[in-house]
Structure 1
Amino acid sequence: MSSKYAGSRITKASKAPKAKQPTFVLELPLLVNPHEDRVLAVRFEAGRQLYNAVLGEALRRLDLMKQSRAWQTARKLPKGNPGSREQKARAAEFSLISKTIGFTDYDLQAYATRCKNACWIGDHLDAHTTQKIGTRAFKAAQRYQFRTGGRPRFKPKWKTLASMEAKSNAAGLRWRDDHLEWNGLKLKAIYDQKDPHGVQAFALQNPVKYCRLVRRTLNGKARWFVQLVIAGYPKWKNKNPIRQGKVAIDIGPSTIAAVSETDAFLEQFCANVPDLQKTIRRIQRAMDRSKRGSNPGNYHEDGTLKKPAPGQRLQWVFTNGYLRLRARLKEMHRRLAAYRRTEHGKLANRVVALGSTVMAEKLSYKAFQRRFGKSVRDRAPGEFVGHLRRKAASAGGGVIEFPTRTTKLSQSCQCGAVVKKPLCQRWHDCPCGIRAQRDLYSAYLGLHVREDAGLWILDTESARVGWCAAESLLEKAVSGVVQAANGRRLPASFGISAPRSGARDRAALSRNGAESGEDSGCCNHIASAIVARAGKTPELSTGTPRL
């Protein structure tokens, strides 16, 4: 801490925490000529080298802190419950050790400033940008400290920083009227001349908190964008309605179901994201062949990778063909991310149109990655929940996540029975007479989850009362899936096959019911309910879902 605060009695812990103000981002493309492009490339290279230097120092201090005796002693202190005196005393002890070692945001900002002033980087970066780079390195190391992320890696030369930002709009990177200013550069922004929904005009009327300069590679060429972090909430487009009410969602690796008091839907999660798995895999195999052909000394005769000697590293040679393949692979992942963001936005708008207060199970998306890796890579359910959380907050609501351990929606019935179902069982079939699509029924039960004395439970009485009105909504949602298929094959995770015609359809339905041991009367009851809405008879699939 600086000497300016040495005699103050007001400590940091005694100050009231600042409430987070709502913010949103407006992104605009920049008009950059070749000279400005070279200048920006040099500054981003300086930022990359400074980030690596600060990150190395942060990891060194973190290792020293963990090796200290004070740290080992603090780890033996009782943890206590959240908010208890023991927990606060333990946190205060760790905070004191961090300040003593110098592993704080302020200390690493000061280290970044000293590094910048001691070399050529000081000619290209300003003080505010330098301090933000120090903060970025500190947060990366802090995530590793708290085990919320892996050990951060240094950025190689071919993978420069993706963005740089300022601390405020007063100095360094700053937005002025219609352009971005940074150390003598004035970069004009490209506006949407039509702006049919008035989004840009509305955003530019609000104060800009700070700016972020973003570099993206589109089809092998660098493009520059400015992201204006603006105070307030973004403008809602007129085509996206908002309903004040409650809606519950059930998210799977490849499906999503949403149920409110007035409507429900079931659809494939991010259905319009292109399937690039074969293309990505083909590029990866070509990269591996090129890498092995240009570095035969790094592999054993059986094809396994050699282990380097202690203190040494393997030397790699990358051909121009390998570099082109790597750039192509990066472009494929960029396209996937762009399609995914668009689908997340559309789906979030559709959920908020049913209700601004969203009830959802608190899931472990890391477990999703371990079990359904490629599906989660393409659809990113965790990223969608974050997007939905921001959308719901701007609509005046929010996302309420409740634990699955006490609610057990996929196993429970409104009659009170709790039976564990295998993943291949896509229909909820209870002896009490309730039969519904599994994901839709879980979402319906999510509407009736409430908190009782700090414990989230399922209110079965409320679920029984509301079932009379909800049953038709769930059948209508299944009918919508059948109509949207239009003869195409649906994912097996729906538990519904695309309809066929006439006697062959009825024969397949009875055959599926006989093979799975289901009651044919119950199947006919569901089929007749959907026939009345869709005009065709679907097949109820009980096979293992293909995720």
Structure 2
Amino acid sequence: MATYSLELKLNTKKASDCWYLENYFREVAKISNTVRRFAMRRIERLKRDKNYRDLLAQYIKLIKQDKEKEKETVGKELSVVVWSYGLTKFYLQKSALDLRKNLRYVHSTVYQKICDQVWKGVEKVLYADGKRMHFKKWDDFLSFEGKSNTTGIIYQDGKVYINCTPKRPNGGIILSVKLPNNKNNDHWNYETRCLCDPTKYCRIVRKKFSSGWCYYVQLIQEGIPPQKHVRGTGRIGIDIGTSTVATVSETACHLDVLGDSMETKEKEIRRLQRKMDRSRRATNPQNYKEDGRVKKEKKRWAYSHHYQKMRDQLKTMRRKRTASLKQWQEIYANRLLEEGDEVYVEDMSFKALKKRKKKTEKKENGRYKSKKRFGKSIGNHAPAQFLTIVKQKLDQTGGKYHEVNTRKFKASQYDHVTDTYTRKKLTKRHHWADRDWVQRDLYSAFLLMNSNKSLEHADRDLCLLHYPSFKILHDQCIEEIIASDKHIPASFGFHRAA
């Protein structure tokens, strides 16, 4: 069954309600870090096991040799060794059971969910690309959830019951949800329509504001959310970058910076960070060298009350920035899907793009080149989140999401006029299609839109058929960008006339 989430603010005017939820989060943090400690110690012991290391090396070797039968046999032996160290979901739940019995707030279903989240981290370390597990600070615990809407955390008739039920209201707290006051409002209509669907389970979320924590409930609803936008039909090509997005459909072309309104918020965040750095240096002069660098030895830091207020303010600003960016991406995705219901995009690994270079290189003057790549840009613009939003909206409405093979497709190298591939430098931001100047990202999106069935090459016949209309839409898009007041990044490859 398809699901979606509906977030509603909780009415926590009573100090006792805030106190109850704060203590609940403290117990969640305590249990989570206890289970993490158990898992981390077991993983360390497992990695010191010579039998495990030998079997793991043998298993990796068989993967490279593509020997399926032998790989299955060694895999079963590996699983037995891992299980012998108590690294299973059941043993993780059992590890902090005695601790939970002595705690007051955390329900058994919430406890099981906490252990499941820790188990996902264990699986990343053992079976994926995770290096090691980490403890979490109390401020980093932002949510807890149950497993059903019948016990632990229950939503019914506009109220949330925590550690109690509608029939037995004693023993926990009852919080009412806030709906818009104006019943003619679109938000009120949308939320009331969502509440007609059955609730699978509830999640309690807290968000940091300058005045303190505010609490929300996320209802995980069964079904498809009410549609507020008309969905179009047809193909859409998306050429996604680390900070920009180019889209081409049969009716429109778009070239935008992902979250172009976030630049002012980023400047405010950097200004506050510099202010915090000055305060930290003033209260901890013993931890800095004469040239201003931080000493490497073990240090103790003292933070003034003014610094702590600024730290809370910084968290609030980052939360607002994240929420604004996601809202911008949601609006952009809705506008995009009004033009089509079949999306073609390159299969990209943003996780690899944000990693530093491994190779050390020098410039002509003898200085070392920076190893930084696109980590900051990806963190500020969240391109993977945008693609996730598009895919989720397509799944909910029955659309199709296709990921083409980046290495075989070579959208930035192909020319549909000559049917040839020409490698271009990253600094070259345009393409010549015969005698036509075409913006590089928009042209790549055009080729992706006209992908063939194998998703490994552009269909040349479709490209020749749709190119004349694309060129008209392309020129209109460029003219609108130049005529607007928006900042034009250098990566677009054009600028306004002086």
CA shift, 1:320, in A, is: 1.3
Query: Residue 439 of structure 2: which of 437, 440, 443 is its match?
Result: 437
Secondary structure at the aligned position of 2:99 is classed as: helix
| Number of the residue aligned with 2:302 | 317
Q: Judge conservation of contact 2:258–2:329 (CA < 8 Å) in 1.
A: no
* Alpha carbons of structure 1 residues 88 and 267: separation in structure 2 relative to 1, 3 Å: same
Query: Residue 209 of structure 1: which of 194, 197, 200 is its match?
Result: 200
Partner amino acid for 2:180?
Answer: D
| Number of the residue aligned with 1:506 | none
Comparing 26-35 with 215-224, which one deviates more in the overlay? 215-224
| Number of the residue aligned with 1:24 | 4
Q: Judge conservation of contact 1:174–1:210 (CA < 8 Å) in 2.
A: yes
| Number of the residue aligned with 1:421 | 424
Residues of 2 paired with 1:349 and 1:404: CA distance? 26
Task: Render the CA deviation track for 1:400-426: whole Å, top value 9, x for unaligned.
Answer: 112321111112111222222223322
| Number of the residue aligned with 1:132 | 113
| Number of the residue aligned with 2:93 | 109
Task: Render the CA deviation track for 1:177-233: whole Å, top value 9, x for unaligned.
Answer: 211111221110111243426321221111111100011112232111000011122
Asked whether 1:196 is paired with 2:186, we answer yes
Secondary structure at the aligned position of 2:303 is classed as: coil
| Number of the residue aligned with 2:373 | 371
Q: Judge conservation of contact 2:208–2:312 (CA < 8 Å) in 1.
A: no
Query: Residue 268 of structure 2: which of 279, 289, 304 is its match?
Result: 279
Residues of 1 paired with 2:447 and 2:54: CA distance? 47
* Alpha carbons of structure 1 residues 339 and 125: separation in structure 2 relative to 1, 3 Å: same
Query: Residue 58 of structure 1: which of 22, 39, 62 is its match?
Result: 39
Partner amino acid for 2:311?
Answer: R
Aligned pairs (5 A) from 1:363-402: 363-369=348-354, 370-402=372-404
Q: Judge conservation of contact 1:392–1:399 (CA < 8 Å) in 2.
A: yes
| Number of the residue aligned with 2:323 | 338
Could you list the runs of 5+ residues in structure 1 that have no partner in the other structure?
Answer: 1-20, 501-547
CA shift, 1:112, in A, is: 2.8
Aligned pairs (5 A) from 1:21-420: 21-32=1-12, 33-75=14-56, 76-77=58-59, 78-79=62-63, 84-117=68-101, 119=102, 121=103, 123-149=104-130, 151-157=132-138, 159-183=139-163, 184-193=172-181, 194=183, 195-196=185-186, 198-237=189-228, 240-308=229-297, 313-369=298-354, 370-414=372-416, 415-420=418-423
* Alpha carbons of structure 1 residues 99 and 181: separation in structure 2 relative to 1, 3 Å: same
Could you list the runs of 5+ residues in structure 2 that have no partner in the other structure?
Answer: 164-171, 355-371
Q: Judge conservation of contact 1:30–1:226 (CA < 8 Å) in 2.
A: yes
Secondary structure at the aligned position of 1:496 is classed as: coil
Residues of 1 paired with 2:269 and 2:309: CA distance? 14
Query: Residue 496 of structure 2: which of 495, 498, 512 is its match?
Result: 498
Residues of 2 paired with 1:112 and 1:128: CA distance? 14
Greater Rg over alpha carbons, structure: 1
Comparing 196-205 with 102-111, which one deviates more in the overlay? 196-205
Task: Render the CA deviation track for 1:250-290: whole Å, top value 9, x for unaligned.
Answer: 11233221112233222332222242333322322332333
CA shift, 1:57, in A, is: 0.8
CA shift, 1:137, in A, is: 1.8
Residues of 2 paired with 1:380 and 1:93: CA distance? 40
| Number of the residue aligned with 1:533 | none
CA shift, 1:385, in A, is: 1.0
* Alpha carbons of structure 1 residues 399 and 148: separation in structure 2 relative to 1, 3 Å: farther
Secondary structure at the aligned position of 2:420 is classed as: coil
Partner amino acid for 1:28?
Answer: L
Q: Judge conservation of contact 1:336–1:378 (CA < 8 Å) in 2.
A: no
Partner amino acid for 1:51?
Answer: S
Secondary structure at the aligned position of 1:371 is classed as: coil
TM-score (norm 2): 0.87
Partner amino acid for 1:179?
Answer: K
- Kindly indicate whether structure 1 or structure 2 has the higher relative contact order, using CA contacts under 8 Å at least 6 residues apart: 2
CA shift, 1:448, in A, is: 2.3
